[in-house]
Structure 1
Amino acid sequence: MPLQRLGVLVHFKKPDKPGKLLIGAVRDPNAALYGTDQAAFVYTTSPSFLVPPGDEPLFRVYFTEVAALAERRVV
C-alpha cells in the first residue's frame, strides 16, 4: 500500500480493555497516518489484533516514524 494512503488506528471501545488495531487505506491522503478517525478509512483490516492500552504508545512511536518518512502527520 502506498504510504500516502496508509491509515492506522488503535480503536478502544472501553478505556481499560484492549483495543483493535486497524490498518487500512484512507480516502484523503492528507488524513493522519496514525490515529486516523475510523470514518476516514476506505478499507480496514487486522481486527484480530488486540492491543492492551499500555502498549498503544509503542505503536504510536513506530507509526510516528513511518509518518515522518512519508511526510504525513499523526493525531
Structure 2
Amino acid sequence: MTALRITAALFVDLGRRTKTSADGGTWVQPPRARYECLLCRTTEGPVKGPIAVQEFVARIRTDHPANCTANHQGAHAA
C-alpha cells in the first residue's frame, strides 16, 4: 500500500442568501473560497462571489502547481 500525503487544502464556503425575492434571493453572505498549499506554505484567495468562486475552484488545482516553488512531483492534493 502506498502512503499518500495531503499537500493542499481547498476551502469553500457556499454562502447564505435570503429566499424572499422572486430572483432567488439576496446574498447575506456571498460564497468564498481559498486554497492553501502545504508544500510552499502559500494561500491563494480568498475570492468572493458565486462566479468568482466557481472559476477559482475550476482552475486552482492546476494553476497553483504550475507556479508553486515546491516540488509537486509525486504529491497528491486533497
| Interval containing the TM-score (normalised by the shorter chain) | 0.3 to 0.5
Who wins on radius of gyration, i.e. which is larger?
2
Q: TM-score, normalised by structure 2?
A: 0.38
